[in-house]
Amino acid sequence: MDSFKAIQITRNEETKEQSVAETTLTPIDLMDGDVDVEVERTTVNYKDGLAVTGKGPVVRRFPMIPGIDLVGEVTECSSNAYSRGDKVLLNGFGVGETHMGAYAGFARLNSDWLIPLPKGLNGHQAMAIGTAGYTAMLCVLALEDHGVTPDKGPVLVTGAAGGVGSVAVAVLAKLGYEIVASTGRAEEADYLKGLGASEIIDRGELSGPAKPLNRERWAGAIDVAGSNTLANALSMTRYGGTVAACGLAQGMDLPTSVAPFILRGVTLAGIDSVMAPVARRIQAYDRLVRDLDMAKLKAMTTTIGFDEIIPHASAILEGKVRGRLVVEVG
């Protein structure tokens, strides 16, 4: 490949102002790696929105090609981990942050960051899941690991109309859980009920200052917001319950006390999708193939073109994106 289109983030080192634009690059512009991949599809996650807009300290090297997820075809691999023509999947590992990422026609990566495209998924489905859906499954696994089963009571999902939330609701519903879906978009109530939510609450119920302990309402929770929302989720979790925390949409702070932990035995399970071991990733994708209704995944997914990435990066931060986005790179 002589040249390829890419989205590139640059920064003025004097003003520290970031700019982003579509450009044309060649393989020599890429960073070192032992495997070359022709990118077929990518996606736009909340984290990608922070990177592209500069509204969060995601990018730590400039210039940078953003994009934390991709599915594509191996064109060359010097380590022999993969062969030409293999279909591979990438989520995270600092790609799009410290290593040039997925928003390009071509990527040079480390082979130990990749997994084979999971059996039972095509490339479009893999990116419809993306980091958001894979993170949702990691959260579900954490709840299961801590004994939060459907018979224990409802599970709260915050940011329920977003990418993580939509997949979490769909998976939990298929597994038989009662789901309380929190959203700031009342117009998405029917959408969330269609995915399997039993109850819809306004995010305003959780976004204000939290009491150390409040009325017990759910056996577990999946939280994408952090800050007051996470504090409230913890304060309302039943005795012995677990909250899986995977996001910071409201903030990185956690204004709470030790009361939920020492008086109700609540567990706060932190979910990291970026550096999760390959074995855990494969487990998550195996479960997604089994426990995510592909018809629901299709219903929550919108497909866009490469030239639509930048505007959608802003839209996802503004809460204007429902569910998941797949980007057709070719």
> Residues 127-140: pLDDT tens digits?
999 999 999 999 99
Q: Is the CB of residue 228 less than 8 Å from the CB of residue 250?
A: yes
- The reported pLDDT for the residue numbered 2 is 86
Domain ranges in the chain with CATH number 3.90.180.10 = 4-117+300-328
Fold of 131-270: Rossmann fold (3.40.50)
- The reported pLDDT for the residue numbered 204 is 97
Residues in contact with 217: Cβ distance below 8 Å, sequence separation at least 6, in sequence order: 154, 156, 180, 236, 237, 238
Q: Is the CB of residue 264 less than 8 Å from the CB of residue 219?
A: no
Mean pLDDT of the chain: 96
- The reported pLDDT for the residue numbered 1 is 66
- The reported pLDDT for the residue numbered 124 is 98
For residues 221 and 224, what is the distance between their CA atoms, to the nearest angstrom?
10
pTM above 0.85, yes or no: yes
Q: Which residues in the chain show pLDDT less than 70?
A: 1
For residues 38 and 57, what is the distance between their CA atoms, to the nearest angstrom?
28
For residues 136 and 35, what is the distance between their CA atoms, to the nearest angstrom?
28
- The reported pLDDT for the residue numbered 16 is 87
Domain 4-117+300-328 class in CATH: alpha beta
Domain ranges in the chain with CATH number 3.40.50.720 = 131-270
- The reported pLDDT for the residue numbered 186 is 93
Q: Which residues pair with 119 in a beta bridge?
A: none
Q: What separation in angstroms does the CA of 254 have from each of 90, 93, 140, 300?
A: 31, 26, 22, 30
